[in-house]
Amino acid sequence: MRVTKKELERRYGWRLQRLDFFFLDRRQANAVTLQHRRRHAIGMCVGLPFTIRTNLEHALANPEFLTEDLTPRERPDWSWRFLGMITEHVYLHEAAHALRGHLAYLDRPGHVVDERAGGLSHYLELDADIHALDMWLAITEAAEDFPSTQDLLLDLYFQRVFTLLLLYQALDAENLSIREQKRLDHPPPVHRALLLAAALRRTVPERYRFSSGTVENVHHQAFWEASVAARGARLVPDRWWGGSTGRRRGIDSYRRRVRYYMEVVEPRLDAFAESLPDDHV
């Protein structure tokens, strides 16, 4: 996480002097952003990386999982690499809460969000997800080892979509229905995964000069491999792959929520973030 923090500072010219990081001795698969006076802190429950690691081990024990991508000898090493990519996104997500001023926004009187479309906390989570992805793209593209060939770029794209799916699978471990999840502080994990996967699928073709068909194939490959992991983790059937009606994913409510976020909530948050002082974090 120290490396990611330094990369953010280098890429954006930030000095994140008041952003701390620590682990919490909690079994839950969770992370939080905290604020005390002029300092922010990211607390990651140790249960989150342990849950992700356990799910990865179960998946890698299945010969159907990443059969064409990893040899038996490579699997132990890549399980740690995948874990690193997954936890990096968690860090960026929590950092986005701080950098976008979400805690300050919650304290601001007069903000209005249509509760019928979901609570404000749901939209702040989607906002942190999207901006974490933006930051990841920025610092990854600025790295000296950023891939220079299309094959390697496609592999990076696959790994990003794939590891995002694995992260939100870890947050879906309680196997609650979509209706139950919508009553919680965070949106359903599969909705968050779908949003980020869709954002990448729209961004990558033009950004790296891929055909839409090529990206679509890699997108479905990532979802297929993640579905094998979902079976190993005994997640709800048909939520992470398949399901002809979309009921297991709550597709209709997902579309309404994302449309409202993009049309109404994100512009408000953008304006608020612009009003924050440069040294907010």
Q: Is the pLDDT of residue 116 over 70?
A: no
- Whether 79 shows a pLDDT value over 70: the answer reads yes
- pLDDT at position 145 is 87
For range 61-80, the mean pLDDT: 84
Mean pLDDT of the chain: 89
Under the banding of pLDDT at 50, 70 and 90, the label for residue 114 is: very low
pLDDT in tens, 3-52: 999 999 999 989 898 999 999 999 999 999 998 888 899 999 999 999 99
Q: pLDDT category, 76, cuts 50, 70, 90?
A: confident
DSSP sequence for the chain: -HHHHHHHHHHH----TTEEEEEE---SS-EEEEEETTEEEEEEETHHHHHHHHHHHHHHTSTTTTTTT--TTTHHHHHHHHHHHHHHHHHHHHHHHHHTTHHHHHHSTT----GGG--HHHHHHHHHHHHHHHHHHHHHHTSTT---SHHHHHHHHHHHHHHHHHHHHHTTTT---HHHHTTSSS--HHHHHHHHHHHHHHHHHHHHT--HHHHHHHHHHHHHHHHHHHHHTTPPTTTSS--SS-TTTTHHHHHHHHHHIIIIIHHHHHHHHHTS-TT--
Q: Are 88 and 4 spatial neighbours (Cβ–Cβ below 8 Å)?
A: yes
pTM: 0.92
Quick one: average pLDDT of 210-224?
93
pLDDT at 113 over 80: no
| CA of residue 69 relative to chain centroid, distance | 23
Residue 108 pLDDT exceeds 80: no
Domain ranges in the chain are 49-274
The C-alpha atoms of residue 177 and residue 80 are separated, in whole angstroms, by: 30
pLDDT at 234 exceeding the cut of 80 = yes
* Band of residue 246 on the pLDDT scale cut at 50, 70, 90: low
| pLDDT over 50 at 115, yes or no | no
Task: Quote the CA–CA distance of 261 and 263 in Å, as a whole number.
Answer: 6
Contact 90, 31 (CB under 8 A): yes
Asked whether the predicted pLDDT for residue 179 surpasses 50, the reply is: yes
